[in-house]
């Protein structure tokens, strides 16, 4: 039975945690409040304040676009770009990571440790080091300034994480199960599809949530390798933050930030508990 008695030390812990949570959430609260304020109200007071007139129309303008002096901006096409990059890259990197993690954990072969080490080495390389190699690769295969190029980048870059997650999960699966299947004549892919994949739901949920949020929120590759209408939403927000015809649009821009963050917020809101369960699955073993 849990001890729910109130003690000074517990009160101090709650106070410290509450202060940290308030400091962490303060920027989000400011952005949400500003997304519901008119631009005139923000200009006349400050960036921090309670809405005097609820401007829900900011979200419609941020989504479909607003125009000033024949210049228009809107977040809708860039949200579609992010979806067209994030969804296939998440699926490809998760499936490839699952197969590779299965190979280096349960289907041992000569050099598997070296291959695993080389793949996971990508975890420790800063993104800036990869810009020049990726520039050369995308230029040579003709994928500069394309969504397909970003899909390729995030699929390859994500393998470091997905292989690590899947390998650490699969290594807890009894090797006797694989040996029995091989004795019965099952091959590499048949064992994977019939035995390993059905057991992989917890770790696949982890990799999907991890990859989706990481790719959706990624900025550097999007702003480096794409321009104009090909940019994902994180890169497009920079252009949207520039005042149009010297007229500030902080309310609309704040609404655009909230809309751009909604997919990842919803992913963690509805899948956060599964993420934690997947990370801890097999931890005791």
Domain ranges within the chain, ordered by starting residue: 77-235+265-280
Task: Answer whether 150's CB lies under 8 Å from 89's CB.
Answer: yes
More confident residue, 200 or 250: 200
Q: Please, which pLDDT band fits residue 285 given cuts at 50, 70 and 90?
A: very low
Q: What is the DSSP letter of 46?
A: -
Q: Which of 141, 134, 161 is nearest to 222 (CA)?
A: 134
Q: Please, which pLDDT band fits residue 91 given cuts at 50, 70 and 90?
A: very high
Q: Mean pLDDT, the chain, as a whole number? A: 84
What are residue 96's phi and psi, to 5 degrees? -65, -40
Q: Please, which pLDDT band fits residue 113 given cuts at 50, 70 and 90?
A: confident
Q: Please, which pLDDT band fits residue 2 given cuts at 50, 70 and 90?
A: low
Distance of CA 214 to the CA centre of its chain: 2
Predicted pLDDT at 280: 67
Q: What's the CA gap between 232 and 241, in Å, rounded? A: 15
Predicted pLDDT at 279: 66
Domain 77-235+265-280 homologous superfamily, CATH: MetI-like (1.10.3720.10)
Q: Please, which pLDDT band fits residue 163 given cuts at 50, 70 and 90?
A: very high
């Amino acid at each position: 039975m849990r001890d729910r008695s109130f003690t000074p030390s517990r009160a101090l812990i709650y106070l410290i945690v509450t202060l940290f949570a308030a400091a962490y959430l303060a920027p989000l609260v400011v952005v949400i409040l500003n997304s519901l304020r008119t631009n005139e109200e923000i200009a006349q007071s400050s960036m921090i304040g309670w809405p005097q007139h609820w401007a829900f129309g900011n979200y419609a303008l941020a989504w479909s676009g607003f125009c000033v002096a024949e210049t228009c901006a809107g977040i809708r096409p860039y949200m579609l770009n992010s979806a067209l990059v994030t969804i296939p890259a998440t699926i490809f990197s998760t499936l490839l990571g699952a197969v590779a993690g299965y190979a280096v954990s349960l289907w041992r072969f000569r050099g598997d440790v070296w291959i695993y080490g080389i793949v996971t080495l990508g975890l420790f390389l800063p993104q800036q080091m990869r810009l020049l190699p990726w520039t050369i690769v995308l230029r040579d295969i003709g994928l500069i300034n394309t969504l397909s190029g970003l899909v390729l980048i995030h699929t390859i870059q994500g393998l470091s994480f997905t292989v690590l997650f899947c390998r650490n999960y699969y290594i807890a699966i009894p090797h006797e199960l694989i040996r029995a299947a091989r004795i019965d004549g099952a091959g590499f892919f048949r064992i994977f599809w019939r035995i390993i994949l059905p057991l992989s739901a917890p770790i696949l949920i982890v990799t999907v949530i991890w990859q989706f949020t990481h790719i959706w929120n990624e900025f550097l590759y999007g702003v480096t390798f794409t321009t104009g209408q090909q940019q994902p939403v994180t890169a497009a927000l920079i252009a949207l933050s520039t005042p149009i015809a010297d007229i500030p649009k902080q309310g609309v821009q704040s609404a655009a930030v909230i809309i751009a963050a909604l997919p990842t917020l919803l992913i963690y809101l509805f899948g956060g508990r599964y993420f934690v369960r997947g990370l801890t699955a097999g931890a005791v073993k």
